Chains A and B, each alone.
Chain A
Amino acid sequence: MLKYLLRRMAATIPVLLLVSLMSFAVIWLVPGDPAAAFLDSSASPEQVARLRHELGVDQPLPVQMVEWYGRILSGNLGESILLRRSVGAALLERLPVTLSLAGLALILAVVFGIAAGILAAIRRGTLADQSIMTLALLGLSVPDFWLGLVLIVVFAVGLGWLPSGGFVPITQSVTGWLATMAMPALTLALVQMGFIARMTRSAMLDVLHQDFMRTADAKGLSYRFVIMRHGLPNAMMPILTVIGIIAGSLLGGAVVVEQVFSLPGVGRLIIGAIMSRDFPVIQGGLLFLGLIYLVINLAVDLLYAAVDPRIRL
């Protein structure tokens, strides 16, 4: 297992290097510069040049590249041009919001998605199956920004049950945190829930007709036990793969949801940085998200190994 773990970790290094190179390439790929975030259209070229110099974006690219690798290899993501503080600190400050959002959405999507998928599989061809699959398709098709606005109109404006946006840290108030997270997490989860439900149904259907399921049933085990103990674990491989992909895409989806619900998360930080060409934040943010993605993938690989011993061979 240790050998497998080391092999998988070693495989992430070239990917990380590629991600860091692509993060740096942002400077070449994106036109515009941070001067526009401070100055308006009437600023003189001298003013722009002076500000660019002050912001340190007038250095030749090779110099900037050497600085970039020098920094990230020492664990420093640089300093934000606009926030005038360390990129790492800015990311970590916003990480609880994004992790809360993505984590809660993942729990909702996994729990309800798997439950719905199992139900649809064991009631195959019934009205319940049809309804679950239709809802799953609907969930997959609805754009998250639209769904978010509908939820705001219903639960914040219409019923007045939940705040329309903003964030309360869990350390400040658990109920406040739940109230501010409920709609964004649901928005983010609904799309993925449909995906997981469809995948679970399909994987479970493959397993339900296997010989060992019939044997377990013939032994007189309860139906619930057969499904949960013999069926689900054997259907987990494709589901785990999907969950791994979803965990990463939840971080991407969080960008849109954070905008709609005015949540001060990592996605919003990166969007703001893109709009104002705060290159250190864009680069650091991309690298950071890339790293999280790699960690998630590594975790999924390890879970595969835990679930299926053949993988470790």
Chain B
Amino acid sequence: MNWKNLALALSVGATALALSPIGGHAQTRGGDVVIAITQAPPTLDAQISAMQATRNITLHLFETLYARDENAKPVPDLAQGVAISPDGKTYTFALRKGVKFHNGKEMTSADVVASLERYRKVGASASLLDAIDTIQAKGSYEVVVKLKVVQSTFLDNLSSPRAPIAIYPAEEAAKGANQISYIGTGPFKFVEYKPDSHVKLERFKDYTPNPNYTKRDGFAGRKDVFIDTVTFRFMPEAGARVAALQSGEVQLVETVDGPTKKRLETNTAYKIYPALPFSFQILKFNHALAPTDDVNFRRAVTAALDMEEIMAISYPDIYQVDGGWVYPKSAFYVDAGLKSFNKPDLKVARELLAKSKYKGEKLIFLVDNLRPNIDTATVIQQRLAQIGVKIDLQVTDWPTAVKIGWSPAGWNLFAHGFGIEPFEGPGTVMAAWANGLSQQKDDPEIDRLYTALNAEMDASKRKALFAEFQKRMYDEAVAVKIGNYGLFQVATAKLKNFEPYRIPRMWGVTLDK
């Protein structure tokens, strides 16, 4: 977008704002919302954690230059816009003027430069910024980022919510990992953090909603805050979370199981919000070990599986049987390779197995102790037993599973969720399989496609490259996409205008008295 178009967009936005219901309509103001979340965040330093529990909270406090809209497309947030040089290597970001940090200081280019530089050093997903050569301030409101190579996914990376590239005041950005004061530009301001208990935020009174938008839109858009405070209470016990909702101590529960949802949905005091799809369920193969290094073996496993059966047992109340390697609403959703998705046929599976290296040995199926993942592994184990594959199920907690599953030894199959990557889009999904990252052995074709996607600025050609990638995933049975699952969020009916998203957003919502 050039500056002229940007100016036009701004004036249209401003007009729309003046006419919008939010601009002129009185909303219920005030109220304290308490959200029961399952885990405590390991830190509130947004840049250094890729955990859901962290971003649930930090994306209320901090903002990024670009952020994802409702359909995960990168759109400006703290930036007004960007001008990209014809060679695709120089990005000049114009910053929004008058954006205040919670300490009252205005955000300028120095803060942005310091924050991006910090992320390159300590960011949990620092590789997102690997393509950057230099970052320079140009005046107070412009930042020039020069890339070493063309990277079509650069704005996708910059707007990644996984471990957000949050903008901190320069003096905070000068501090090491987990040593910052929690000062951001977000619509909520930090109040207190009681470890293992709660985090409390309050409405940032000097927050100026982005005038370029008229409504809430993903992590970007217009962030009007009507409630006074939001408290994230860490409640590990599922029964206690629901009890707290029923006793009126919390207003929103991050996730409840199917039976609880069924029990509460008939009560008008509560509202159920299904968030589907929220994550993929996938089965990984270790290509560095026999027999999962053999394409015939992987195809045999794929042919044996009934995805409907696995999803219906693992996520009985909220699932989709879908083979796409991005979510169905994504602009990159393609049907390449899908003709071979979910075609369970034990006869074909046995034939493929006979052609493979498999000699009847016991294979290690690694899975963490999350109930649906164990269910997935158990169903697959039973199914594979029918074609003569012996599975040794090894259930560990997540840190142990990760430690083993990120190495080339000690496992053959590994089932788990894959949630934020498909939301982020094709670049991140492909990155998980590029350089043999997830399958532990390089796949030159995937590497080629990933490099090509990164260098291709044309959206339709990128989509074609992604289609090739998806076809490769099916042709070579690189891994198995089983389906999409979701989660149920439950709120008191007094909480209005809530929309489930990747995090429980508290801007735009109101709380009836």
Answer yes or no: A74 CB below 8 A from chain B CBs: no
- State which size class the interface on B falls in: 35 or more
Q: Which residues of A contact B416 (CB under 8 A)?
A: 41
CB <8 Å contact, A94 and B243: no
Given the known interface contacts A38-B49, A38-B51, A42-B432, the answer about A260 and B237 at a Cβ–Cβ threshold of 8 Å is yes
CB <8 Å contact, A164 and B399: no
Answer yes or no: B147 CB below 8 A from chain A CBs: no
Q: Which residues of A contact B197 (CB under 8 A)?
A: 166-167, 262-264
In the complex, residue of chain B having the shortest beta-carbon distance to the beta carbon of A271:
B236
CB <8 Å contact, A42 and B431: yes
CB <8 Å contact, A164 and B403: no
Given the known interface contacts A152-B243, A264-B196, the answer about A32 and B403 at a Cβ–Cβ threshold of 8 Å is yes
CB <8 Å contact, B243 and A164: yes
Answer yes or no: B249 CB below 8 A from chain A CBs: yes
Q: Which residues of A contact B235 (CB under 8 A)?
A: 165, 262
Given the known interface contacts A54-B122, A275-B399, the answer about A264 and B195 at a Cβ–Cβ threshold of 8 Å is yes
Expressed in whole angstroms, the Cα–Cα distance for A275 and B398 within the complex equals 8
Partner of B428, one of A42, A48, A260, A277: A42
Over the window 247-260 of chain B, the binary record of Cβ atoms lying under 8 Å from chain A Cβ atoms (1 yes, 0 no) is 11100000000000
Expressed in whole angstroms, the Cα–Cα distance for A268 and B236 within the complex equals 10
Answer yes or no: A107 CB below 8 A from chain B CBs: no
CB <8 Å contact, A262 and B124: no
CB <8 Å contact, B196 and A39: no
Expressed in whole angstroms, the Cα–Cα distance for A44 and B126 within the complex equals 10
In the complex, residue of chain B having the shortest beta-carbon distance to the beta carbon of A150:
B239
User: Among the listed stretches B40-48, B287-295, B350-358, which one makes contact with chain A, having 4 or more residues with CB under 8 Å of it?
Assistant: B40-48
Given the known interface contacts A42-B431, A44-B127, A156-B243, the answer about A262 and B233 at a Cβ–Cβ threshold of 8 Å is yes
Expressed in whole angstroms, the Cα–Cα distance for A45 and B233 within the complex equals 33
Answer yes or no: B495 CB below 8 A from chain A CBs: no
Q: Which residues of A contact B313 (CB under 8 A)?
A: none
Answer yes or no: B420 CB below 8 A from chain A CBs: yes
Given the known interface contacts A41-B418, A152-B243, the answer about A164 and B195 at a Cβ–Cβ threshold of 8 Å is no
* Minimum CB–CB distance for B407 against chain A, Å: 8
Expressed in whole angstroms, the Cα–Cα distance for A20 and B394 within the complex equals 30
In the complex, residue of chain B having the shortest beta-carbon distance to the beta carbon of A161:
B247
Expressed in whole angstroms, the Cα–Cα distance for A42 and B403 within the complex equals 12
Answer yes or no: B276 CB below 8 A from chain A CBs: no
CB <8 Å contact, B243 and A276: no
Answer yes or no: A31 CB below 8 A from chain B CBs: yes
In the complex, residue of chain A having the shortest beta-carbon distance to the beta carbon of B407:
A45
Answer yes or no: A90 CB below 8 A from chain B CBs: yes
Answer yes or no: A241 CB below 8 A from chain B CBs: no
Apart from A32-B398, A157-B247, A262-B236, what are 7 other A-B pairs with CB-CB below 8 Å? A32-B397, A32-B401, A84-B177, A149-B240, A164-B240, A164-B249, A264-B197
Q: Which B positions have Cβ atoms within 8 angstroms of A?
A: 40, 42-43, 48-51, 122, 124-127, 162, 177-179, 194-198, 233-237, 239-240, 243-244, 246-249, 396-406, 416, 418, 420-421, 428, 431-432, 435, 437-438
